Amino acid sequence: MDAGLGSGDHGYRPVDGWAKLPPGWRLGDVGGVGVDRHDNVYVFHRGEHPLIVLDRDGHYVRSWGDGVFSRPHGVHMGPDDTIYLTDDGDHSVRKCTLDGRVLLTLGLPGSPAPFMSGVPFHRCTHTALSPTGDLYVSDGYGNACVHKFAPDGRLLRSWGGPGSDPGEFNLPHNIACDAAGLVYVADRENHRIQVFDGDGRFQTQWHDLHRPSALCMSPAHDGVCYVGEIGPYYAFNRAAPNLGPRLSILGPDGRRVARIAAAPAAGEGAGQFWSPHGLAVDSRGDVYVGEVSYTAWPSIHPDRPCPPVLRTLQKLARVGAAARTGPAPRRAAHGATPEAAEERRR
């Protein structure tokens, strides 16, 4: 297996120099990344031309979003050729067409809700869609809750609050749904992923993670969950091994089936990361990792000046017998259809 990244059915090789931007362009911190049904890659970054679209081979397709976004944070792809973009800098979520036309805005851009009020939004972080089209928003740095919206943007319910008990959060940083409608929340500073039903009832929690920051469910609807973990930032454990940053791949029961982690962890070599912040998986099983490397640098290397250019996006191509050569079969988790899963919840 090339480069020896991952294990078992989840083996990968890094694709060096994958992103081919126009001359003079560069990527800032990549808050989120998504893949459409044609395997085009949508890169939401903190810099000029904040939404950059690349094809599967990394060639530039188009860009948009200048003057719209304050601090790109999260990407979620809709099934109807739409994209949901979470901006924690202006406390909003925008649903857009794939060429940048805004269809719906949630939140009041530039107007945060009161700190820890539970009211949308105060530095919201990410979004996820249920199989029936309801939208979940993790919220966030200045809140500790999840909000559920109807497809037309009506707020249906909110749950959570600051704390470490089941159903409480300490920075809900990312969110995802599976084909059965379960909701997965990366509860970053509680070092866990919490799992809820579609109405916010706690189901279980997954530990053995270090500051889970990025979260993505497999497009094959097989229950596999990809998790980006960020490393320690405190002086006493900053150089400790086996804490990340790293990429972990979990099965439907939350048990780890593979991990990509080099030693030392932080860096730009094969299997290394600075701070994995956004994840996406295409129809062939390749993984795209967006990183907030410039933000992470002062915590990882507080006594060293930041280099002028850091890697903030990488592609890991799946290799071996499990690698797919075409679009993934669209089956629901545990062999059920989304409609059947919804019927079971009624």
Q: Sheet containing 183-187: give its strands across.
A: 172-177, 183-187, 192-196, 202-206
> CA geometry: angle at 65 spanning 61 and 69, to 5°?
145
CB atoms within 10 A of CB 190: 22
Q: Which CATH superfamily groups domain 2-345?
A: TolB, C-terminal domain (2.120.10.30)
Please tell me the distance from the alpha carbon of residue 170 to that of residue 163, in angstroms, as a whole number. 6
Task: Locate 233 and state its tokens.
Answer: 């930032």
Per-residue pLDDT at 329:
45
Model confidence at 327, pLDDT cuts 50, 70, 90, reads low
Task: Locate 9 and state its tokens.
Answer: 């059915």
Q: Which residues, 6 or more positions from 326, have their beta carbon under 8 angstroms from its beta carbon?
A: 283, 284
Model confidence at 331, pLDDT cuts 50, 70, 90, reads very low
- 64 CB-contact burial (10 Å; exposed 0-12 / middle 13-18 / buried 19+): middle
Model confidence at 265, pLDDT cuts 50, 70, 90, reads confident
- Supply the DSSP string of 302-333, one letter for each residue: TTSPPPS----EEEEEEESTT--SSPPP---G
Per-residue pLDDT at 264:
84
Model confidence at 345, pLDDT cuts 50, 70, 90, reads very low
Residue given tokens 């001359």 in the structure block: 23
Cα 108 from chain centre: 23
Bigger pLDDT: 174 vs 1: 174
Q: Residues 33-59: what's their mean pLDDT?
A: 98
Residue 212 preceded by cis peptide, ω within 30: no
Per-residue pLDDT at 332:
37
Look at 95-104, 186-195, 235-244, 309-318 and tell me which has the smallest mean pLDDT. Answer: 235-244
H-run or E-run covering 339: helix 338-345
| % of the chain exceeding 70 in pLDDT | 91
Strand partners, 93: 86, 106
Strand partners, 214: 228
Q: Which residues, 6 or more positions from 48, have their beta carbon under 8 angstroms from its beta carbon?
A: 25, 66
Q: Residues 178-196: what's their mean pLDDT?
A: 97
